[in-house]
Amino acid sequence: MSWIFRTVSIPLMPSFRGGAAARRQEAIARAFESEVRREFRAAAEFTGVRTKTHVAAGVTITTPRIGGVVMGPPVTFTVELMPGMVPSDLLAPARRVAEAVGGRGVRIEPIAGRWLRVVVLEEPEPEPAPPAPRRLRSRPLVTPCTAETAEGPHSFR
């Protein structure tokens, strides 16, 4: 029996470099997610998108809940609306978070029920052009009167 030297796909000594890089990426993602959550909570409190409840133990401040954060371009996060809120209420805090993470605009998309997806944009969306004036009728609104009455052009009966 002869020995044939082949490359072995399984290393004899385990390499921990791949695991370290994955752990480093996970740590960066967790830090980014906690930073977005903290930034959104502070922005919601500052802009008044919160509820204050006074209880015997003190004051409880509740802000809209963030479900998940995706770090890749574009940065997106999901937010659950509190009862009585509309999607436009989240525009001010979302813009503040966008500025904090390096974006220049936001787009808010409904997902399901009270959940919204906030997408941080690299460039702000262009404002829609104002609608062109529409002509409602095909004929002029004032039609000239060609026939004069017997008393004159300005007489009324």
pLDDT digits (tens, 9 = 90+) for 115-137: 999 999 988 777 777 777 766 55
Q: Which residue has the higher pLDDT, 117 or 14?
A: 117
- For 31-75, what is each residue's pLDDT tens digit? 999 999 999 999 999 999 999 999 899 999 999 999 999 988 899
How far from 26 is each of 30, 32, 101, CA to CA, in Å? Answer: 6, 10, 18
Spatial distance between the Cα atoms of 42 and 19, rounded to a whole number of angstroms: 34
23-37, 74-88, 124-138, 142-156: the lowest-pLDDT one: 142-156
| pLDDT band per the 50, 70, 90 thresholds, residue 144 | low
Domains of the chain, CATH where assigned: 20-121 (3.30.980)
For tokens 């997106």, the residue is: 76
Q: Specify the residue for token string 């002029």.
A: 140
Are the C-beta atoms of 69 and 33 separated by less than 8 Å? yes
Instruction: State the Cα–Cα distance between residues 30 and 48, nearest whole angstrom.
Output: 27
